[in-house]
Amino acid sequence: MPSTLADFPVHGKWPAQHPERLQLYSLPTPNGVKVSILLEELGLPYEPHLVSFETNDQMSLEFLSLNPNNKIPAIIDPNGPGGQPLALFESGAILLYLAEKTGQFLPTDATRRYETIQWLMWQMGGLGPMFGQLGFFHKFAGKEFEDKRPRDRYAAEAKRLLAVLDQRLTGRTWIMGDDYTIADMAVFPWVYNLVGFYGAGDLVGIANFAHVGRALADFAARPAVVRGLAIPIRN
């Protein structure tokens, strides 16, 4: 096991200027900004490194040594459990780790803690993948397909998921009520991206989900969210 940051191969491609800080290897995508937003909310010192898809950084041997699944984000915490460095990938796992490490944005009550994790897993297993597929068929290469059935399938599923979220937010400020948690930081970057970057708001009838719209506006107005959405800075 590596005992210092310099022992990780990824350090050779992305040298740390501040090796005592948590290292973030990411890109400002919906999955990537989950972690930068949480780090900004926590105020933890960290050093972001851009993993550029334009130059296939995610397929480099250095990055694959950190995440063999070649997906962002990934982190190395030089002050992990027991004071040893911890390398971690999968955005949901990173959110859980940082929330538990700091004791913030995850309820301490066992019932509410598991309920928060439930909604985190809902985003990881459903909302994120489905919104991502809709983006492919609405904005990227899939939009050229004459057969619109794949797009319409994912649009219908996106609407269903938005209805689930809208119902959950009825009478609640955030997913967990008054408590702003990692569940919100996992879910709302994807909703923000669906409406903004993907330009699919009209397609899914986003105006029909008033509670989602209200919570999304509150989320986007948070200073840490504004900062986190642009980290790492694209070249």
The full DSSP string for the chain is ---SGGGSTHHHHS--SSTTSEEEEE-SSHHHHHHHHHHHHHT--EEEEE--TTTTGGGSHHHHHH-TT--S-EEEETT-GGG--EEEESHHHHHHHHHHHHT-SS-SSHHHHHHHHHHHHHIIIIIHHHHHHHHHHHTSGGGG-S--HHHHHHHHHHHHHHHHHHHHHTT-SBTBBTB--HHHHHHHHHHHHHHTTS--HHHHTGGG-HHHHHHHHHHHTSHHHHHHTT-SPP-
Are the CB atoms for 73 and 25 separated by under 8 Å?
yes
Does some domain include residue 188? yes
Residue 38 shares a structural domain with residue 77: yes
Residue 187 shares a structural domain with residue 124: yes
Structural domain including 218 reads 110-222
Residue 153 shares a structural domain with residue 129: yes
Give the residue from 104, 129, 157 where a domain finishes. 104
Give the residue from 104, 136, 158 where a domain finishes. 104
87 phi and psi, to 5 degrees? -100, 135
Give the residue from 104, 134, 166 where a domain finishes. 104
Q: Could you tell me the CATH number of the domain that includes residue 178?
A: 1.20.1050.10
User: The pTM is what?
Assistant: 0.96
pLDDT in tens, the chain (235 residues): 788 899 999 999 999 999 999 999 999 999 999 999 999 999 999 999 999 999 999 999 999 999 999 999 999 999 999 999 999 999 999 999 999 999 999 999 999 999 999 999 999 999 999 999 999 999 887 888 989 999 999 999 999 999 999 999 999 999 999 999 999 999 999 999 999 999 999 999 999 999 999 999 999 999 999 999 999 998 7
Does some domain include residue 228? no
The predicted-structure confidence for 76-105, as pLDDT tens digits, reads as follows: 999 999 999 999 999 999 999 999 999 999
Give the span between the Cα atoms of 234 and 167, in whole angstroms.
36
